[in-house]
Structure 1
């Protein structure tokens, strides 16, 4: 059966069908991008897991190792990590397909603003995940291994460790999106810059509450999430003020 729109169909039906076909094409390309990266990473799955496990292995007592409780964990844990890594690496390609689908329906000023926000959001997510890996995880594991009771041997299951690390990566990756969220709220006129400034104390308290919920129960890791969130909120306010002034100058 042909994918071409039916010439006898109504104009509205042709438009809807063409949009659906375009959406299918974009989704297929996004999935193929993820699959291509995933297939390329499969031979390196064990090596990827060794890299992810390094922050914990460096803090374990001498002679201690990680364990695999489930029989299939040595296979599925690295494969799961490879898939998550593939999705993360392919995010630019996936976002490009989403952008290519919605861009024709946007006004010129909307396209001019949306693309930088999309790129910035992607970079901030990567920066948040890198911050978690290089700074937060070593600090957290130093604390957790340091408070282990005497006589208790630390043997972390590889699957549970992976789940813990992925949650931390996602938490910090999305937390670093605060400036983008602030800019969007400001440019849409849902919140003014003055209201953002007045809400600063509540945002700081909220950042510490969020940090207390999604980080391990130690003060250091909570501070390492709450303080960047508060600082990024300030960055969002500054960026919003600059963009609003630029918009006013263009419309003047």
Structure 2
């Protein structure tokens, strides 16, 4: 295991999590900006249409390993309802997302990022996410204002989802660092850990119990590759300090 020049991170349940998630509340916030609603759609009608578009249609594509942009999803949803807004597509993403959940920091993620910054370890993000990299960047900047992420990649901007290795290949090329000098941290044993390993990046399995959805994780299995398994960010900080010390003696 080499001291890294750069560490890449997953987003959800790695850096931040969606506390008290409520999509109805997100739609309620969006409706404050409606400029046209000829069919007089109610919040409940928006909810039902959102379930049709996002949970039944878009989810079918996601299960195949591909992604449809949330901005496209919103376009389909609100044209289906005949509604218009006084917002840009990006503003619609952010207002909905913040309304559904303002987000929260995973324990000590801010402390860990401060450590990386202080020790000159570069950082970036790769996330399976319906929302755009621009929307995620806004959220990361709001909740982790000291971050120095060089780039933020979301699957919605690249039409494919982890564990597709193309996302990791792109990240390595954007980093301009040899894969063996990069670590990748994520909470999913397959989409994060095994996926990073296939391109030569060293994977860290961040397995923390904060707001953990065990139903979604019922099909996960122990990663079938070399990796480091941690439960808290201070474990990685301690390891980095140890590797740094060993390299200096």
Q: Same fold per TM (> 0.5)?
A: no
Name the one with the larger helix percent. 1
User: TM-score scaled by structure 1?
Assistant: 0.22
Bigger relative CO (Cα 8 Å, ≥ 6 apart): 2
User: TM-score scaled by structure 2?
Assistant: 0.22
Name the one with the larger strand percent. 2
